[in-house]
Amino acid sequence: MINPSSAISFGFESTVVTTKNGKSFTGFLVSDADPLILKDIAGNENSIALKDVAKKEVMNTSIMPSVKNLNLSAQEIMDIVAYMQQD
């Protein structure tokens, strides 16, 4: 939660695919076959023919926002952590 990019679990790496016509897609790689399938954060699947792929890059940063970008106070962060630790 504090630094979501420090350890990205297998299957949750985001991939950016750029097509030959310049369109970009970001999401989780569902299929690396032909067609390549990416699922975006809304759950929509994008199917891209391999012949149309110009570039495919696995990102080393999480799509989950860092707590630094949420404008939360130290107390609000502690409250969230305490809530998550409850049984």
Does any domain span residue 31?
yes
Domain total for the chain? Answer: 1
Residue type (1 letter), 30: V
Structural domain span for residue 59: 14-84
> Per the domain annotation, does 30 fall within a domain?
yes
Does residue 61 lie in a domain region?
Answer: yes
Within-domain flag for 2: no
pLDDT bin (cut points 50, 70, 90) of residue 1 is low
**Across 47-73, average pLDDT:** 84
Which residue has 């130290």 as its token pair? 74
For residue 76, the domain's CATH number is 2.30.30.100
10 Å CB burial of residue 46 (0-12, 13-18, 19+) is middle
**Residue 40 within any structural domain of the chain:** yes
For residues 1 and 16, give the distance between their C-alpha atoms in angstroms, rounded to a whole number: 23
Q: Is residue 1 a part of any domain in this protein? A: no
Confidence at residue 83, expressed as pLDDT on a 0 to 100 scale: 93
**Residue 71 or residue 53, greater confidence:** 53
pTM score, two decimals? 0.65
How confident is the model over 3-59, as pLDDT tens digits? 555 555 666 678 899 999 999 999 988 999 999 999 998 999 999 999 999 999 988
